[in-house]
């Protein structure tokens, strides 16, 4: 298969007849939804603003692997090849998405951006680039959880004389060999980038922590953390919150002496609020060896200095902001009253917003049971619902 960073995935332009469903976004959620809809005997059209499928995955840092297992991450209708290993790499995810689109013979129009979703009688109209107006009774929004990189508007940010970049622009440790780097944010991305930097020869790596994370082993005696996450989704939140500290103490050492205390909040309560646990891919060892130094959260910038929440000041040469993304749904559907106060869809999967029948959302949550797995479940349910709309 062609190099995933260069392989073309453009398809024949969409035909004049209205498709049975329009899927916005050719990432894993959009491709899964389109394949499942096609299996229902309908004709979906996928529109993608980038020139290739899986654009978000192509842009992630080099060492990234799925934190969920190959077997539990396959999309509907095509297993992930065994040769990709248990923890699938970024490049192999892209290869899989390319193969998935080909296998299901999906109709994909790349280089087309939908600007807005509008009501049109019993269906929807989608003004798009090039003066196009697409229409369908069913629209699936799958533009992705990681749509728009977000860097907080820290006081003095524009005065920083060093390099400041979002994690979305980080590829590998090469440009930072021997340099003093501050990584801001201790989610999975920030933790893994910090480890990548120390392993890649950065001179000093500090990790700014606002809220102590829950840390889990990715796998314990062969049992993946994802499998525990699947079980947790079936249990009451309070029960999981009470059990989790005992599980953590059995498998994860106390890092309080190194500046990374155990969290005071419940694990599953945090998940429901949008913060999943950090899966250890080297962070524990890096913190215990003091190669990664946890520090307080960033408060403000002042020239070449970064002032932290505890009042201390540091002078990193580089700041990597692993500070998350915005879903960016407001321009697309914000006028329809289908988003909550945090910009999240009020309905997800096969459920549609109360006043927007035929409009579906997938891929906008970050479940503890694995995003690919949940997108696959969503896809099948959306497809069955779309078949009823037809």
- Whether 240 maps to a domain, the answer reads yes
Domain count, the chain: 2
- Whether 136 maps to a domain, the answer reads yes
Residue 82 has pLDDT above 90, yes or no: yes
Which of 324, 342, 374 is the endpoint of a domain? 324
Q: Are residues 181 and 302 in the same domain?
A: yes
pLDDT at 136: 95
Q: Are residues 188 and 317 in the same domain?
A: yes
What is the share, in percent, of the chain residues with pLDDT greater than 90? 81
pLDDT at 390: 66
Assign 146 a pLDDT band (cuts: 50, 70, 90).
confident
Q: Are residues 81 and 203 in the same domain?
A: no
Lowest mean pLDDT among 17-21, 112-116, 167-171, 336-340: 17-21
What is the share, in percent, of the chain residues with pLDDT greater than 70? 95
pLDDT at 247: 86
**Rounded to whole angstroms, what are the CA distances from 15 to 44, 53, 291?**
11, 20, 56
- Whether 10 maps to a domain, the answer reads no
- Whether 15 maps to a domain, the answer reads no
Residue 1 has pLDDT above 70, yes or no: no
Which of 273, 307, 324 is the endpoint of a domain? 324
- Whether 12 maps to a domain, the answer reads no
**Rounded to whole angstroms, what are the CA distances from 150 to 25, 120, 320, 325, 369?**
20, 33, 12, 5, 25
Q: What would the mean pLDDT of 232-237 be, rounded to a whole number?
A: 90
pLDDT at 220: 86
Quote the radius of gyration of the chain (alpha carbons, Å): 22
The mean pLDDT of the chain is 92
Q: Are residues 360 and 258 in the same domain?
A: no
CATH number at residue 259: 3.50.50.60
Q: Are residues 197 and 339 in the same domain?
A: no
pLDDT at 9: 43
Q: Are residues 286 and 375 in the same domain?
A: no
- Whether 14 maps to a domain, the answer reads no
Q: What would the mean pLDDT of 266-276 be, rounded to a whole number?
A: 87
Q: Are residues 117 and 197 in the same domain?
A: no
- Whether 5 maps to a domain, the answer reads no
Q: Are residues 169 and 306 in the same domain?
A: yes
Q: Are residues 158 and 290 in the same domain?
A: yes
Q: Are residues 365 and 381 in the same domain?
A: yes
Q: Which residues of 232-259 are buried (b: 16+ CB within 10 A; e: fewer)?
A: beeeeeeebbeebeebbeeebeebeebb
Question: Which residue range(s) make up the domain with 265?
Answer: 151-324
Assign 11 a pLDDT band (cuts: 50, 70, 90).
very low
Lowest mean pLDDT among 6-10, 76-80, 161-165, 199-203: 6-10
As to burial, measured by CB atoms within 10 angstroms (0-12 exposed, 13-18 middle, 19+ buried), residue 337 is exposed
pLDDT at 16: 53
Q: Are residues 184 and 315 in the same domain?
A: yes
Q: 286, 293 in Cβ contact below 8 A? A: no
Q: pTM (2 decimals)?
A: 0.90
Q: What would the mean pLDDT of 230-255 be, rounded to a whole number?
A: 91
Q: What would the mean pLDDT of 27-53 be, rounded to a whole number?
A: 97
CA distance 255 to 260: 5
CA neighbours within 13 Å on the CB side: how many for 279? 20
Q: What would the mean pLDDT of 19-48 be, rounded to a whole number?
A: 97
Residue 41 has pLDDT above 70, yes or no: yes
Tens of pLDDT, residues 335-360: 999 999 989 999 999 999 989 999 99
Assign 195 a pLDDT band (cuts: 50, 70, 90).
very high
Is the alpha carbon torsion for 361, 365, 368, 371 positive or negative? positive
Residues 6+ apart with CB under 8 A from 15: none
Q: 296, 310 in Cβ contact below 8 A? A: yes
Residue 5 has pLDDT above 50, yes or no: no
365 vs 281, residue with greater confidence? 281
pLDDT at 172: 97
The full DSSP string for 304-345 is TEEEETTS-EE--SEEEE---EE---HHHHGGGT-B-TTS-B
Tens of pLDDT, residues 129-140: 988 899 999 999
Q: What is the dihedral of CA 142, 138, 72, 69, to 10 degrees?
A: -10
Write the DSSP symbol of residue 185.
Answer: -
Q: Are residues 212 and 308 in the same domain?
A: yes
- Whether 121 maps to a domain, the answer reads yes
Which of 292, 324, 356 is the endpoint of a domain? 324
pLDDT at 368: 87
Q: What would the mean pLDDT of 115-130 be, rounded to a whole number?
A: 92
């Amino acid at each position: 298969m062609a190099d995933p960073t260069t392989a073309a995935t453009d398809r024949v332009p969409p035909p004049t007849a209205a498709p049975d469903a329009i899927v916005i976004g050719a990432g894993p959620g959009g491709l899964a939804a389109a394949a499942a809809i096609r299996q229902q005997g309908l004709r979906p059209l996928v529109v993608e603003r980038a020139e290739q499928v899986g654009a978000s995955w192509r842009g992630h840092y080099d060492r990234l692997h799925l934190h969920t297992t190959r077997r539990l991450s396959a999309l509907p209708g095509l297993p992930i090849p065994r040769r990709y290993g248990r923890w699938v790499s970024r490049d192999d995810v892209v290869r899989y998405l390319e193969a998935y689109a080909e296998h299901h013979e999906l109709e994909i129009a790349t280089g087309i951006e939908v600007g807005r979703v509008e009501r049109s009688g019993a269906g929807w109209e989608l003004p798009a680039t090039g003066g196009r107006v697409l229409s369908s009774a069913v629209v699936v929004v799958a533009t992705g959880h990681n749509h728009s990189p977000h860097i907080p508007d820290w006081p003095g940010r524009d005065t920083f004389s060093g390099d400041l970049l979002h994690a979305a622009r980080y590829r590998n440790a090469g440009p930072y060999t021997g340099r003093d780097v501050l990584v801001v944010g201790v989610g999975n991305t920030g933790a893994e980038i910090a480890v990548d930097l120390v392993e890649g020869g950065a001179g000093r790596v500090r990790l700014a922590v606002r809220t102590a994370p829950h840390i889990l082993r990715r796998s314990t005696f062969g049992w993946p953390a994802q499998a525990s996450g699947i079980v947790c989704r079936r249990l009451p939140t309070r029960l999981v919150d009470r059990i989790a500290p005992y599980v953590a103490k059995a498998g994860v050492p106390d890092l309080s002496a190194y500046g990374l205390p155990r969290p005071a909040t419940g694990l599953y309560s945090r998940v429901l609020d949008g913060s999943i646990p950090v899966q250890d891919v080297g962070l524990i060892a890096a913190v215990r060896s003091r190669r990664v130094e946890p520090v307080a959260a960033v408060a403000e910038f002042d020239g070449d200095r970064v002032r932290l929440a505890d009042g201390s000041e540091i002078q990193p040469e580089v700041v990597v902001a692993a500070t998350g993304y915005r879903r960016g749904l407001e321009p697309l559907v914000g006028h329809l009253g289908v988003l909550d106060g945090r910009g999240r869809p009020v309905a997800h999967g096969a459920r549609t917003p109360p006043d927007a029948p035929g409009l579906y959302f997938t891929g906008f949550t970050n479940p503890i049971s694995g995003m690919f797995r949940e997108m696959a479940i969503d896809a099948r349910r959306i497809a069955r619902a779309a078949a009823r709309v037809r």
